[in-house]
Amino acid sequence: MKHHRLPSITLLPPPHDLTEGGQAVEDWARGLDWVRWLLGSVRARTEVLMAGDGSWEEFADGLWIETIGPALKTAWQAAQDGDLAGLIAVDKLLTAQLHPCLARRSISAGALLLKSTRRARYQAVLGRLREAVERGGCEGHIAVVWAAVGHFFQLSLANVIAEYLRLEWDIAASAENPASDGAWGQTIARLTRRIMQTTVEGRLQQGEIQPFSAC
């Protein structure tokens, strides 16, 4: 069997080094094209994700900054710590916070990502998360699964955040959402920086947030 060599990885700089014009993210994107392959099944088989029921600005200023971004950040840290209970806690909180139709989309996308990474070896906390989902211990939201997958492939938190946003952007753009205006670099840099600089504690303790209730 012929093996293809993966491109070299260029990590994102710390959030305070991200440029306003998004050049850092654009440079990162060229070095991390292989990461798009990890999310390829989700991108190819998902018609609408979290950003699909309103404008990109509504998603960015509402659901992203209040719910998905902090959850992704907390889940990545739990994966770093090998903390399955922490991952499950974030997953259950997303189920409680998200409008049911958004939760279904999130869980469906998470299932696609779990399926596409099933054959990876030595999965550690990702494998334990998969087992928890299979036995009904948690739902497997895309943000939680992606955090665990990103950790497994040794991606930084900034990379994990930015790639999730690029997934949302690409899916929204394919659905002819205003996100297709070509400004993805600057937008992803800004939103990545906001989450990297936001304290998670407190936000995840808020009540149910439903910015797109008319799904």
Q: pLDDT digit string (tens) for 56-90?
A: 889 999 999 999 999 999 999 999 999 999 999 99
Distance of CA 187 to the CA centre of its chain: 15
Binning pLDDT at 50, 70 and 90, where does residue 182 land? low
Tokens of 71: 């959850």
What average pLDDT does the segment 103-110 reach?
A: 96
Of the candidates 130, 128, 104, the one whose C-alpha atom is nearest the C-alpha of residue 49 is 104
Per the prediction, the chain carries an average pLDDT of: 78
Residue 150 token pair:
């990103």
Residue 41 scores a pLDDT above 50: yes
- Whether the predicted pLDDT of 150 surpasses 50: yes
Check: CB of residue 143 under 8 Å from CB of residue 72. yes
Its pTM stands at 0.77
State the Cα angle at 202 between 198 and 204, rounded to 5°.
90
Least Cα distance to 161 among 92, 66, 76 occurs for 76
